[in-house]
């Protein structure tokens, strides 16, 4: 399995983690955080304040993870550090990562893809 994902943690001006995420391209993702896209105002505020106080955005990275390892580690760290500004709080809308309320993935009987809700899946295959 390819190990091209990395997990990163953004730190505020007091050296406390405020955002945890995963990405394939860490330089691009950090640049996106620095631009403050206004989708998450709490995160944008902390990023701007960190840059104002320190002159740069401080972060740490763990490289060479598979996607599943990165997601599991991200969820674990988000649960450890409760006061984060992550909007999804470790929950993914990726079809292959979501699990329904009983803890089982639902499989489309037509194409075999895994989904949280089959109603949202519009299969192009035929029965």
Same domain, 9 and 60: yes
Average pLDDT of the chain is 77
Same domain, 72 and 101: no
Please give the residue range of the domain that contains residue 66: 5-80
Exposed (0-12), middle (13-18) or buried (19+): which is 67, by Cβ within 10 Å?
A: middle
pTM score above 0.85: no
Residue 108 lies in a domain: yes
Whole-number pLDDT of residue 24: 92
The tens digit of pLDDT for each residue in 64-105 reads 899 899 988 988 888 888 778 876 654 444 434 444 444 566
Residue 48's CATH number: 3.40.1440
Residue 86 lies in a domain: no
What residues are paired with 65 via a beta bridge?
5
Same domain, 63 and 10: yes
Same domain, 98 and 65: no
Whole-number pLDDT of residue 85: 84
């Amino acid at each position: 399995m390819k190990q091209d994902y990395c997990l990163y943690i953004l730190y505020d001006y007091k050296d406390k983690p405020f955002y945890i995420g995963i990405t394939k391209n860490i330089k691009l993702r950090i640049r996106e955080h620095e631009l403050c896209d206004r989708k998450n105002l709490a995160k944008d505020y902390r990023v701007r304040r960190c840059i104002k106080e320190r002159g740069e955005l401080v972060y740490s990275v763990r490289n060479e993870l598979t996607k599943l390892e990165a997601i599991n580690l991200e969820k674990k760290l988000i649960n450890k550090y409760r006061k984060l500004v992550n909007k999804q709080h470790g929950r993914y809308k990726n079809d292959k990562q979501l699990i329904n309320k009983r803890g089982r993935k639902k499989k489309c009987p037509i194409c075999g893809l895994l989904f949280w809700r089959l109603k949202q899946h519009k299969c192009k295959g035929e029965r």
